[in-house]
């Protein structure tokens, strides 16, 4: 099994028996997941001794994975923001993961199908930030977060997993695995978005000319902006489960995709997909074998 086997053996022998993961155990788990992403591999599971059993552990592993990958964090994804997604994963609420620069694409995107184990397409509203929302001692409010937004974008998140069991790995493992992000494709910037009723805004996903999914913005925590507020406080709150990850809050220029408003569709290796957001524009992705 090579390098991955060494990681498992080291983690199993060195991890402590405390309820929460030790720093070393979280680092080992993060390195294993980073290895899987770099090498386009999947693993059956994390070793029991380094498997997160608390939300804080999951974000700690995720942060170590991000550091091991070494890519710039140019944005964030939010998952499980819809009732459908929470039911599918057995989650009680949303979770988040970083978007890394090499995996962020402008529409239209032409991507190799071989770069993904799963090509789960999710049409989503995304926001680009105009200013930082750094850690502080109190929560950010909705108006404050809205004022920090530079633009809105139609987008498609491509969901993928480094676990052979996919969503069956469990919510904490999915958080550790970068929130099961594979890639992200964004459409044009819309600056005059605040007067729009995003909760009622219709979205559809077409694959090879056929509508395969449809929904509205209200499927994302009632309104896509609510998801962005949640993320701002997850990354900035001193008592949030991600506080120990030390991500430093949200930063100007980062793009945040807020979760699917129309479910998930598994694309084939040569599918052509379009997420349509009416007058807000569209986002296109083409896979090739």
What's the pTM? 0.92
Q: Strand, coil or helix: what is 91?
A: coil
Q: Strand, coil or helix: what is 80?
A: coil
Distances 281 to 133, 146, 154, 186, 260 between C-alpha atoms, Å:
27, 21, 6, 10, 17
* φ/ψ bin of 115: left (φ > 0), alpha (ψ from -120 to 50), beta (otherwise): alpha
How many CA atoms, within 13 angstroms, populate the side-chain half-sphere of residue 274? 10
Of the candidates 282, 145, 138, 129, which has an alpha carbon nearest to the alpha carbon of residue 225? 145
pLDDT tens per residue, range 95-127: 999 999 999 999 999 999 999 999 999 999 999
Asked if 99 contacts 76 with a C-beta cutoff of 8 angstroms, the reply is yes
Of the candidates 25, 24, 30, which has an alpha carbon nearest to the alpha carbon of residue 68? 30
Q: Kindly state the tokens that stand for 99.
A: 């978007």
Q: Strand, coil or helix: what is 55?
A: helix
- Architecture category of domain 71-288 in CATH: Alpha-Beta Complex (3.90)
Q: Kindly state the tokens that stand for 160.
A: 């993928």
**β-pairing verdict for 282-288 and 272-276:** antiparallel
Q: Give me the sheet containing 109-112, strands edge to edge.
A: 109-112, 282-288, 272-276, 202-207, 210-216
Domain boundaries, the chain: 71-288
Asked if 221 contacts 94 with a C-beta cutoff of 8 angstroms, the reply is yes
| DSSP assignments along 135-149, one per residue | --SSPPPHHHHHHTE
pLDDT tens per residue, range 224-263: 999 999 999 999 988 899 998 999 999 999 999 999 999 9
Q: What is the pLDDT along the chain (289 residues), one digit of tens a residue?
A: 344 344 333 333 333 334 789 999 999 999 999 999 999 999 999 999 999 999 999 999 999 999 999 999 999 999 999 888 888 888 889 999 999 999 999 999 999 999 999 999 999 999 999 999 999 989 999 999 999 999 999 999 999 999 999 999 999 999 999 999 999 999 999 999 999 999 999 999 999 999 999 999 999 999 999 999 999 999 998 889 999 899 999 999 999 999 999 999 999 999 999 999 999 999 999 999 8
């Amino acid at each position: 099994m090579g390098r991955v086997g060494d990681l498992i053996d080291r983690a199993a022998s060195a991890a402590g028996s405390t309820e929460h993961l030790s720093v070393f155990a979280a680092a080992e788990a993060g390195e294993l997941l980073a290895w899987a992403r770099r090498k386009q591999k999947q693993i059956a599971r994390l070793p029991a001794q380094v498997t997160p059993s608390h939300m804080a552990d999951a974000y700690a592993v995720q942060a170590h994975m991000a550091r091991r990958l070494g890519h710039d964090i140019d944005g964030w994804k939010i998952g499980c923001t819809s009732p459908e997604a929470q039911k599918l994963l057995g989650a009680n609420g949303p979770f988040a993961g970083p978007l890394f620069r090499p995996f962020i694409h402008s529409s239209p995107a032409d991507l190799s199908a071989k770069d993904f184990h799963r090509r789960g397409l999710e049409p989503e509203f995304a926001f680009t930030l105009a200013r930082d929302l750094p850690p502080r001692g109190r929560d950010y409010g909705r108006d404050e977060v809205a004022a920090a937004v530079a633009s809105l974008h139609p987008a498609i998140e491509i969901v993928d997993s480094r676990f052979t069991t996919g969503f069956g790995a469990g919510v904490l493992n999915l958080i550790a695995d970068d929130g099961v992000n594979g890639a992200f494709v964004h459409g044009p910037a819309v600056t005059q978005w605040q007067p729009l009723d995003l909760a009622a805004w219709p979205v559809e996903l077409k694959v090879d000319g056929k509508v395969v999914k449809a929904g509205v913005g209200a499927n994302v925590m009632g309104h896509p902006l609510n998801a962005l507020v949640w993320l701002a406080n997850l990354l900035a709150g001193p008592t949030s489960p991600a506080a120990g990850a030390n991500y430093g809050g949200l930063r100007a220029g980062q793009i945040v995709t807020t979760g699917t408003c129309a479910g998930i569709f598994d694309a084939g290796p040569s599918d052509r997909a379009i997420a349509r957001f009416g007058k807000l524009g569209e986002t296109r992705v083409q896979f090739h074998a």
